[in-house]
Chain A
Amino acid sequence: GEDVEQSLFLSVREGDSSVINCTYTDSSSTYLYWYKQEPGAGLQLLTYIFSNMDMKQDQRLTVLLNKKDKHLSLRIADTQTGDSAIYFCAAIPQTGANNLFFGTGTRLTVIP
């Protein structure tokens, strides 16, 4: 199966940019997702990128994909205190089962 890894913690100051990184192992992964989870809540779909893209921008969010290195990142511009949450990277491999493989999640703390 797919292994997805993320660093566990990230702290940034309000107004700075945050960059959350993710690596995955299955090069056949077609779609790669970013989800946000706030305390006591479910997962909120933030954005996704298809494997034939290098970059996708959606308002304050920028996703970068390096297929060669199997590396995905999520940049949040002008980070706000409301962005404090756990961010999960998830991949769907093309081969095998059509389900999401999640990373461990990165806890983002925004310091006012």
Chain B
Amino acid sequence: KAGVTQTPRYLIKTRGQQVTLSCSPISGHRSVSWYQQTPGQGLQFLFEYFSETQRNKGNFPGRFSGRQFSNSRSEMNVSTLELGDSALYLCASSLEGGDRYFGPGTRLTVL
């Protein structure tokens, strides 16, 4: 079975821009969650989607949003980028919120 894929793997943006990251879960998995990893804050939960519905959200500003499509693929969007948004964004898939399997991440650099 193919693992979790994330695209793109690397992104460079400037302050004020917006960005969209994509995640394709493991085939058959319906839950997708997103995490932000930074050296200062570590791994922090952003949100979780299940069957196209957001069922859980972390403590991030409204500039961070996401969605899930009918094929379980998910996207997250960050608008009005700030320098502090530079991070590794990790997507995890699971069957129904059980064991989470992570993708390789998207490294976002905001200049």
Q: Given A42-B104, A97-B56, A98-B48, check contact A88 B99 (CB 8 Å).
A: no
Among B45, B48, B56, B105, point to the contact of A42 (Cβ < 8 A): B105
- Would you call B42 and A98 a contact (CB within 8 A)? no
- Would you call B97 and A45 a contact (CB within 8 A)? no
- Would you call B48 and A45 a contact (CB within 8 A)? no
Q: Given A98-B97, A99-B56, check contact A42 B102 (CB 8 Å).
A: yes
Which residues of B, 37-83, contact A by the 8 Å Cβ criterion?
42-43, 45, 48, 55-56, 58
Among B35, B42, B102, point to the contact of A45 (Cβ < 8 A): B102
- Would you call B99 and A43 a contact (CB within 8 A)? no
- Would you call B56 and A98 a contact (CB within 8 A)? yes
Query: Which residue of the partner chain A has the closest CB to B31?
Result: A98
Residues of A within 8 Å of B103, CB to CB, are: 42
Q: Which of A17-25, A52-60, A65-73, A100-108 contacts B (4 or more CB under 8 A)?
A: A100-108
Residues of A within 8 Å of B99, CB to CB, are: 33, 45, 48
Residues of A that sit less than 8 Å from B by CB = 33, 35, 41-45, 48, 88, 90, 97-105
